[in-house]
């Protein structure tokens, strides 16, 4: 019997590890590539969802974290630190447990989803809520790792990008070639950097015949790359991408320009509409930030930017259970019935 072994074993020859590297894994990766029927109909294209919420801690961060914690272990680190809007900290906390390391996390006070906080807590991370935003947290984390014995596992650590590029490999391995367009949400811009690296490596080695156009979407209130300037006080309901000064800004511009793509913004309203469409019509429950990719695709289609007949992959980055408030908010309350079949049937509209 076989199971997926995790991205380091599956893509060992394409990652910076040696035979003696102590691999720390939760068997991340190998996530579903799901055909999106309604999105395909709406766009006249063949749309697939790369469902990264299926990773062990519920987001794509696990791909980078298995690499970052593995290398930190190899280098003898006993403690790791990260700044996070929630998913990186959940992932770091879990992988640190596997490695027997202390994990410190810095999160913006009051601006991370409850599920993510719960994950960091239950995995025993040392959590500091910072009176500032994600960008402040990252500045603080960099300073601490420069001056104290603690390894930084944010995506400014290049091995994180190495791990995350495997999502592009999986897509090409699954489809037989790169798609025409790849769409994803952009926050700190590590993931668009990583996918572009994965696609270009596969094309350079002839595994794929081409690279896709990279389309990235930021939330309107947190769209520094679109605006061309740092956003001092970023805002959006998609807390995962509430970032005003992305660390991988220049790499995101390179991915955009080298691929012939673009980076645009979507409003919170557009994000929530895509979030509900994904759940109610595709059967895929994601967190709001993840829906930015799909919101962006729908916006581009409405603007006439999507020629029919193309093959498109949208990455949906995190599991909906991380931030269930948005699923409950505005939804009708369930009705209560007695233990009575006739009453239940009536309320269900069956009678
Ligand atoms: N989607 C989700 C669910 C995220 O958690 C993030 C980033 C992104 C998209 C954006 O990816 O930063 O590589 O452009 N979350 C980070 C964190 C910032 O701390 O968990 P990016």
189 assigned ligand-binding residue: yes
- Residue nearest atom 15 of ligand 1, based on CA coordinates: 240
Alpha carbon distance, N-terminus to C-terminus of the chain: 48
With the most atoms of ligand 1 within 8 angstroms of its CB, the residue from 241, 245, 314 to mutate is 241
For residue 330, the model assigns a pLDDT of: 78
Contact of 68 with 6, CB cutoff 8 Å: no
Closest atom of ligand 1 to 155 CA is: 13
188 assigned ligand-binding residue: yes
190 assigned ligand-binding residue: yes
C-alpha 242 – ligand 1 centre gap (Å): 9
Contact of 233 with 224, CB cutoff 8 Å: no
Count the alpha carbons within 13 Å of 208 in the hemisphere toward its beta carbon. Answer: 24
CB within 6 Å of ligand 1 — which residues? 59, 61, 84-88, 155, 185-191, 240-241, 287, 289-290, 317-318
82: left (phi over 0), alpha (psi -120 to 50) or beta: beta
For residue 260, the model assigns a pLDDT of: 98
**What's the rounded Cα separation, in Å, for the pair 148 and 161?**
24
Torsion of CA 152, 154, 159, 161, to 10 degrees: -170
C-alpha 2 – ligand 1 centre gap (Å): 31
55 assigned ligand-binding residue: no
Closest atom of ligand 1 to 185 CA is: 9
Do β-strands 181-185 and 102-108 pair in parallel, antiparallel, or remain unpaired? Answer: unpaired
C-alpha 292 – ligand 1 centre gap (Å): 11
The CA angle 295-237-122, to the nearest 5 degrees, is 110
**Global pTM?**
0.97
Closest atom of ligand 1 to 83 CA is: 19
With the most atoms of ligand 1 within 8 angstroms of its CB, the residue from 240, 315, 318 to mutate is 240
For residue 331, the model assigns a pLDDT of: 87
**What's the rounded Cα separation, in Å, for the pair 275 and 264?**
18
pLDDT tens, residue order, the chain (351 aa) = 789 999 999 999 999 999 999 999 999 999 999 999 999 999 999 999 999 999 999 999 999 999 999 999 999 999 999 999 999 999 999 999 999 999 999 999 999 999 999 999 999 999 999 999 999 999 999 999 999 999 999 999 999 999 999 999 999 999 999 999 999 999 999 999 999 999 999 999 999 999 999 999 999 999 999 999 999 999 999 999 999 999 999 999 999 999 999 999 999 999 999 999 999 999 999 999 999 999 999 999 999 999 999 999 999 999 999 999 999 987 889 999 999 999 999 999 998
> Angle of helix 291-302 relative to helix 268-277, nearest 10 degrees?
100
C-alpha 248 – ligand 1 centre gap (Å): 12
Which three-class secondary structure state does DSSP give residue 85? coil
Closest atom of ligand 1 to 59 CA is: 3
Closest atom of ligand 1 to 85 CA is: 19
Question: Using the 8-state DSSP alphabet, how is residue 200 labeled?
Answer: H
Residue 350, judged by CB atoms within 10 A of its CB (0-12, 13-18, 19+), counts as exposed
Question: Using the 8-state DSSP alphabet, how is residue 150 labeled?
Answer: -
Count the alpha carbons within 13 Å of 333 in the hemisphere toward its beta carbon. Answer: 3
**What's the rounded Cα separation, in Å, for the pair 93 and 250?**
28
Q: Which of 239, 253, 245 is nearest to 112 (CA)?
A: 239
How many residues does this entry show for the chain? 351
For residue 1, the model assigns a pLDDT of: 77
187 assigned ligand-binding residue: yes
- Residue nearest atom 4 of ligand 1, based on CA coordinates: 240
For residue 3, the model assigns a pLDDT of: 95
With the most atoms of ligand 1 within 8 angstroms of its CB, the residue from 50, 129, 191, 292 to mutate is 191
Residues 6 or more apart whose CB falls under 8 angstroms from that of 2 comprise none
Residues 6 or more apart whose CB falls under 8 angstroms from that of 315 comprise 49, 50, 52, 60, 167, 182, 183, 184, 185, 191, 195, 290, 293
């Amino acid at each position: 019997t076989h199971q997926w072994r995790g991205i380091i074993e599956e893509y060992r020859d394409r990652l910076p590890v040696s035979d003696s590297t102590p691999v720390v894994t939760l068997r991340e990766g190998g996530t579903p590539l799901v055909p999106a029927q309604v999105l395909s109909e709406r766009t006249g294209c063949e749309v697939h969802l790369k469902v990264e919420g299926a990773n062990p801690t519920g987001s794509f961060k696990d791909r980078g974290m298995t690499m970052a914690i593995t290398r930190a272990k190899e280098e003898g680190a006993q403690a790791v630190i990260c700044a996070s809007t929630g998913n990186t900290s959940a992932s770091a906390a879990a992988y640190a447990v596997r490695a027997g390391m202390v994990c410190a996390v810095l999160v913006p006070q009051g601006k991370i989803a409850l599920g993510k906080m719960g994950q960091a807590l239950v995995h025993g991370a040392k959590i500091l809520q910072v009176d500032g935003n994600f960008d402040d947290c990252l500045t603080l984390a960099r300073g601490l790792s420069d001056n104290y014995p603690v390894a930084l596992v944010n995506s400014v650590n290049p091995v994180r990008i190495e791990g995350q590029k495997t999502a592009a490999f999986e897509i090409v391995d699954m489809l037989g070639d790169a798609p025409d367009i790849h769409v994803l949400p952009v926050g700190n811009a590590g993931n668009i950097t990583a996918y572009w690296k994965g696609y270009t490596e596969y094309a350079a080695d002839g595994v794929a015949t081409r690279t896709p156009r990279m389309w990235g979407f930021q939330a309107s209130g947190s769209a520094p790359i679109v605006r061309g300037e740092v956003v001092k006080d970023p805002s959006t309901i998609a807390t995962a991408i509430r970032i005003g000064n992305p660390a991988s800004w220049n790499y995101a511009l390179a991915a955009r320009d080298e691929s012939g793509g673009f980076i645009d913004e979507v409003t919170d309203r557009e994000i929530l509409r895509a979030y509900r469409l994904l759940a109610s019509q595709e059967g895929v429950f994601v967190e709001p930030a993840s829906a930015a990719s799909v919101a962006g695709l729908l916006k581009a289609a409405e603007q006439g930017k999507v020629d029919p007949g193309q093959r498109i992959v949208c990455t949906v980055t995190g599991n909906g259970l991380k931030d269930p408030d948005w699923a409950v908010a505005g939804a009708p309350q369930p009705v209560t019935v007695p233990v009575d079949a006739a009453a239940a049937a009536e309320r269900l509209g069956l009678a």
